[in-house]
Chains A and B, each alone.
Chain A
Amino acid sequence: MRKQQKLSSGLSDKVRKSKAAPEIQKNPFEVKINRKKFDVLGRKSKHDVGLPGVSRSRANQKRKDTLLKEFRLKGKNNKFVDRRFGEYDSKITPEDKILQRFTLERQRTHDRKDMFNLNEEEELTHYGQSLAEMEKMADVIDSDSDSEEKGLLSAELTASHFGGGGGLLRMKSAGDEEEQHKPKSRQELIQELIIKSKREKRERQTQKEEAQELTEKLDQDWRSIQNLLAHKTPRAERKDEDDKPRMEEYDVMVRELGFEMKAQPSEKLKSSEELAREERLRLQTLEADRLKRMMGDAEGESALTHTHISADDINDGFILDGDERKTLAYKDGKWNIEEEREEEEGGEEEHEAAAEDEDEVEDDDDDESEEEEEEDRDDDLQSDEEEEGRDEEEAVSDEEQRRAVQEAARAELPYTFTAPETYRDLQSLLQGHSSGQQRLILDRTITCHHPSLASGNKAKLQRLFGFLLEYVGELASQNPPDLRTVNLLIPQICSLCQLFPEAACKAVQMLLSDSAHSMEETLEVKGRAPMPDLDMLVLLKITALLFPTSDFRHPVTTPAFLYISQALSKCVVVSLEDAIKGLILCCLALEFVSLSKRFFPELMNFLLGLLHLTVPDKSNTGYAVLSPFRQQGKNFDLLVLTDPNASQSWSRKPVSLHTAVRSPAEREHCRLSLVDSCLDLVKRCTSLYKDLPSYTHIFQPIRTLLLDHLPVALYPSCTQDLHREILDAIPETPSQHAPLVFKKKKPIPLKLFTPKIVEILDYGKKRGNTKEEKERERLKHKHKREFKGALREIRKDTRFLAREKLNDIMSRDSERKRKVKELFGSLANQEGEWKALKRKKMK
């Protein structure tokens, strides 16, 4: 059989087994090179070199190990399975295997808690109680038990009795090994052991008795001294008490150290809400005080407050209650005085002087005269009231004092205000106050209603902005307009606008479009519209202050631009006032475009028209004026000077925004100012627009007018200078420009197909567009490949099995043949022998 197998395994296998692997790989007869038809860039091929012999023999071996075994066991019902640990695991080395088996064995025995396993490491128990423990307790009563061995068997004993396991034998000490060297008979050994254990038992018993005696003795001793101890306890306690203070001192120290102020972080910066809240709180408290004083019940408080020393106190000893005088003190960690304001009042009350005389205004903006006026008024009112409700019994001095306080309180502004709900509210809130006070009122209103303080405040302040604009409009449309107040209110408007840009935008837009709408309507009805009033001009100016006019497109300034344009091209100039308004609009227009340098045709038209009004002879001009001006018509010599000597008394100074010109001399001066401003604006325009390609064409009409028609000689020298400068700035001949060409465009790149990037999941031909499809294709492919591989394997298996079967058959056949031959041989021998015998017999 062995021989047969060797024959079947083939020569090559034998050779391979004998040789080392590298040697095989180097052998050119073993190596099969897979020739590549094409070189594909980036393809890594693993299989360019193959070792067919090696792989075949490996596969053969594998089959022999698995398939063949199975084949041999085919049709057999029982089989032997070795369940020992790691029996079939080839990865574990035999040493490890053995060690593992040992530990497993140990664990098994340990788990079983074998009573007869007399290892020292193992704890023995009796009725669930550790025997070792029992022994240590050395129960006196139990001391008599004479169970000789108490189950305590030494390792040696067990070893000698039962021969021990393999593991136990290894645990033998060196001494044992020595003993083992001397061969002893079994009888001797047992004798020795018995003697030894008996001796040990005896020793243990005596030891126990001694210990018993000692403990009893100790107990007795203890009882004798126990009383003494009992007597001494109070003293021990006192000793403790003595200790206590010392401990506390220490504790205190520790605690103090613990609680000592650490380096505190500096106070953080307050957020705007906190600041606003504090500010409002401050204002609220002040307001509460003010109200109290106004109601006239300041006495109770004054009793408390007037004891403090005012900062203004001159220490003249004029103190009503000297005894109660207090020094600077802290109360609840706070400085025990009210705020400065309070002190001041205290001082005032102390002095008992007439409050009217004292300037107790705390706000520097307050207008004194206004306030005095108000005080007077209040005084009258107050006195009337006083007269009616006068209590005859009250001391006159008291009365006066109270009145003074009340008046002071009335003259002061309130510290908190309710936000106006309607425009009328705002009006009534601000009316009757000086401009400075109005500003203060607004300031306080805004502070009290900071949007972070309450939810409704935002809407209130947003409405306030609208009302404020309306109010400003009203101030500007008064006669005479109160532009000073408007001027003072600008910061408030600005700050509100900063808070609510959207609302501000809406409000300004609405005013602008309302005004534009009414202008449009008048235009449709009459064909011409009057110049916008001063309130609109002020609004436009405020618009320029609030919103950037240089934006290409802006929700507010673009409509404002259109409004100015509409006014400049549609509103007629019939009086000097109109001309002034027009000029204001021109100034605004110029201001609007001064940064962006945008072109404003209506501005140029209007300036030309205004200058045209100054020309005495209006026929045969070399230019054309446009709407709203006409070449000839009513009011066409509005700006023509009538008095040639007026220029001598004129000096350049800003004109009022709301001049009402009356006297002829004033009119002349006004005309001169207008012409001067007009020329200045033209000059600004020339510098603004000088980069425009059509610069000369834009200014040509103005140039013609200035050069040929303007009565320059009548004007003062500074105006003449302006005139000359403008003419210098405008060249006679148009400047040269390159003809227009389109912007150079970037060459359009050729249309290219952008590479389509496909994620490669598996190499090879795969179709499908979506991810699922690709996955499907891939799996299909894989399945096909696997299927083919499996088929091939199966075929190889069958071939292998067939070969094995054939081998079996052949070996069986050869055996039979051999046996048949043998039989034949023996038969032939028998036959020969028999024939020989027969022949012998015959013989």
Chain B
Amino acid sequence: MAPSRDSNVKEESNQVSYKKDINTKTDRIIQTRKHANDIFDVIEYLQSEKEKEIIFATNACSKIFCELLDRGDIYVGELPKEEDLMHGDRSAEEKYHIFMRHRYNSCVELLLENISHEAFQVKETSLCALMKFVAAEGKHPLQNLDWCEHYNFPRELILALVKHLLSEIEDMSLLISRFQEFMEKDDVRYYVMSSVRDNIARVMGKNKRDVIPLYQNNVFTLLSTINIPGQASEMTNFLVKQEKKHEDWKAARLKEHKRAFEQMWLVFLKYKLPSSMYKKILVILHESILPQMGDPTMMIDFLSAAYDIGGAISLLALNGLFVLIHEHNLDYPDFYRKLYNLLDPSIFHVKYRARFFHLANIFLSSTHLPVYLVAAFVKRLARLSLTAPPTALLILLPFICNLIRRHPSCKVLIHKPSAAEEPCDDPYVMEEKDPAQCHALESSLWEIKTLQKHYHPDVAKAAMIINEPLSEQEDDISVLLELSTFELMEREVKAERKTIPLEFDTATELLKSSREVLGVHFSLE
């Protein structure tokens, strides 16, 4: 017990000591140039093993250098090498400035390294410190640049920061979400976007077009957080104020922003993506990417490629395609044929079922579609319904009925009095890829008849509708789209019942009832 107490005391004293140490040194550095060498000790703390020390030191560093930058105590322009410092005939003042510039550079390097530190707090403070440097440098540029050509913004620093943010070996999503705060500044966002573009091109080019899931994930996280304001007038929030020619500054123009955004995404999508990434992108594509792009039609290639992949990715690509077709006049050949071939048993089991039905409902809402096409869709959906879960069936059945209502010529599918009473094979060919050739119109919806015996009462009821002529009014399926099994269950549980019927022959054993199946195959032992 005693030793541990001792160590506690030591730790405490240690804590106090490092705080005091850093504080006093910071104060001395800021106050007099005599103690300039103390900066080495402070910077050393950045490499400490203890998180608290690093954090404390980081804060101290940001304080020192911001102060120095404000004062103009840091050398501006082409930086001579440190070794050359002694030889050149420079004033002490200049020497001091150069020295401090070197310290500043090493400090920035260490901070960038700390962004990859394992502790999130260290990462966060490093990020904040760096962003303070960005702001300070923006005010007091370290380069002597031609004012007409360039605007003072520390692009190198941002580039380095982005490079470290988009790590290839670590998931940075937490830090990126913290970084999002800084990207509310329009100029930061603009330069980040261009930096990201450069970074992707560099990293992916280096990797020879292989997927790098972690890196791409980080990029995606960063990209998806970028939000461009809708109107130019909203762009007033800048980290660095430009005194001159503010209007001509690229970072201040919405068009430039959009272009940067577009290029960034296109570069990102140019390379091969893991399929989960595809899904993620496609999910947000129509809502947060396409509207922010300068020219959404640039995405056509990507979407067509995604649509051809098949499965869930195709389903998701539908949404983006729809936006393009609908708003940007895209002419997509064989769209309905592809849509028809998208229908396979798995569509009822995937997560994006609601989205698919929503879109399919829109695509098939036109009354100018040929009858054979609608009939093919109806028949195929009916066939697929034989394997669908009840939640999907509750959407599917009204959906089919709606299609038949919209296209009264499809009524033959559920009502064919001319050939009544004559048994026939189902002429429909499930394997046929072309909806025109599948003979759907000659068939009948026996599958719906089968579903009238479904175990779920609501499904059975919905299937019963085809027994009688359909009403004129279409069913609203939008309320059913997001229905989950649990909700169905809750609905059943909440319903008020007057009586609860019971099994009349009371059981005596667990595995012994009048219709035992479980007991045949399993025993209690």
Contacts and interface: CB of A to CB of B under 8 A. Distances in A.
Interface of A: 483-484, 486-487, 490-491, 494-495, 497-498, 501-502, 504-505, 509, 512-513, 516-517, 519-520, 527, 538, 541-542, 544-548, 551-556, 558-559, 561-563, 565-566, 569, 583-584, 587-588, 590-602, 604-605, 624, 626-627, 653-657, 673, 677, 680-681, 684, 692-694, 697-698, 733-734, 736-743, 745
Nearest to A590: B517
B521 A740 contact: no
Interface stretch (B71-79, B96-104, B178-186, B497-505): B497-505
Of listed B344, B346, B419, B521, residue having the most chain A CB within 10 A: B521
B486 interface: yes
Contact of B450 (A486, A490, A544, A692): A692
Interface in B502-517: 502-504, 506-511, 513, 515-517
A491 B508 contact: yes
Of listed A558, A595, A627, residue having the most chain B CB within 10 A: A558
Given A593-B455, A599-B450, A588 B518 contact: yes
Given A562-B492, A601-B388, A692-B450, A736 B424 contact: yes
Interface in B448-474: 449-451, 453-457, 460, 466-469
Of listed B417, B488, B517, residue having the most chain A CB within 10 A: B517
Contact of B502 (A487, A498, A553, A565): A498
B523 A513 contact: no
A552 B457 contact: yes
A599 B452 CA distance: 9
A435 B490 CA distance: 35
B525 interface: yes
Contacts of B454: 598-599, 601
B460 A552 contact: yes
B489 A516 contact: yes
Contacts of B490: 513
Contacts of B521: 583, 587, 654-655, 673, 677, 680-681
B524 A742 contact: no
B380 to A, nearest CB: 12
Nearest to B496: A555
B456 A562 contact: yes
B330 to A, nearest CB: 31
Contacts of A656: 522-525
A542 B389 contact: no
B523 A654 contact: yes
Nearest to B499: A501
A684 B520 CA distance: 12
10 contacts: A512-B489, A512-B493, A527-B351, A546-B507, A547-B501, A552-B457, A599-B454, A604-B387, A654-B519, A743-B468
Given A565-B485, A590-B517, A734-B426, A599 B344 contact: no
A599 B489 contact: no
Nearest to A494: B506
Contacts of B451: 599
Given A591-B517, A599-B453, A546 B503 contact: yes
B495 interface: yes
B419 A565 contact: no
B492 A741 contact: no
Contacts, number: 240
Interface stretch (B138-146, B334-342, B439-447): B439-447
A643 to B, nearest CB: 22
A695 to B, nearest CB: 8
Given A505-B500, A740-B414, A513 B517 contact: no
B468 A692 contact: no
B503 A591 contact: no
A520 B487 CA distance: 10
Given A547-B503, A561-B455, A599-B450, A483 B518 contact: no
Contact of B349 (A590, A592, A626, A698): A626
B269 interface: no
B500 A654 contact: no
B389 A565 contact: yes
B349 A563 contact: no
Interface in B399-432: 413-417, 419-426
B386 interface: yes
Of listed A519, A600, A684, residue having the most chain B CB within 10 A: A600
Given A495-B506, A590-B517, A698-B450, A553 B457 contact: yes
B398 interface: no
A158 B134 CA distance: 161
A605 B384 CA distance: 12
A841 to B, nearest CB: 139
B485 A501 contact: no
B500 A738 contact: no
Interface of B: 344-346, 349, 351, 383, 386-390, 413-417, 419-426, 444-447, 449-451, 453-457, 460, 466-469, 484-486, 488-490, 492-493, 495, 497, 499-504, 506-511, 513, 515-525
Contact of B489 (A544, A554, A562, A692): A562
A555 B489 contact: no
Contacts of A593: 455
Contacts of B522: 584, 587, 654-657
A490 B420 contact: no
B492 A598 contact: no
A559 B492 contact: yes
A624 B345 contact: yes
A569 B517 contact: no
B500 A502 contact: yes
B517 A740 contact: no
A564 B507 CA distance: 21
Contacts of A588: 517-518
Ranked 3 nearest A-B pairs via Cβ: A736-B423, A627-B349, A693-B446
Contacts of A597: 453
A558 B451 CA distance: 16
B517 A520 contact: no
Given A587-B522, A588-B518, A697 B386 contact: yes
B510 A542 contact: yes
B453 A520 contact: no
Contact of A547 (B349, B387, B502): B502
B502 A546 contact: yes
B444 A626 contact: no
Contacts of A551: 501
A681 B518 CA distance: 10
Given A483-B525, A743-B467, 11 more contacts: A483-B510, A490-B510, A495-B506, A498-B502, A501-B500, A501-B502, A552-B457, A553-B492, A558-B457, A562-B489, A736-B424
Of listed B417, B445, B489, residue having the most chain A CB within 10 A: B489
Contacts of B346: 624, 626-627
B524 A680 contact: no
Nearest to B420: A741
A654 B489 CA distance: 32
A544 B513 contact: yes
A734 B488 CA distance: 34
A693 B502 contact: no
Given A565-B390, A599-B453, A655-B523, A545 B446 contact: no
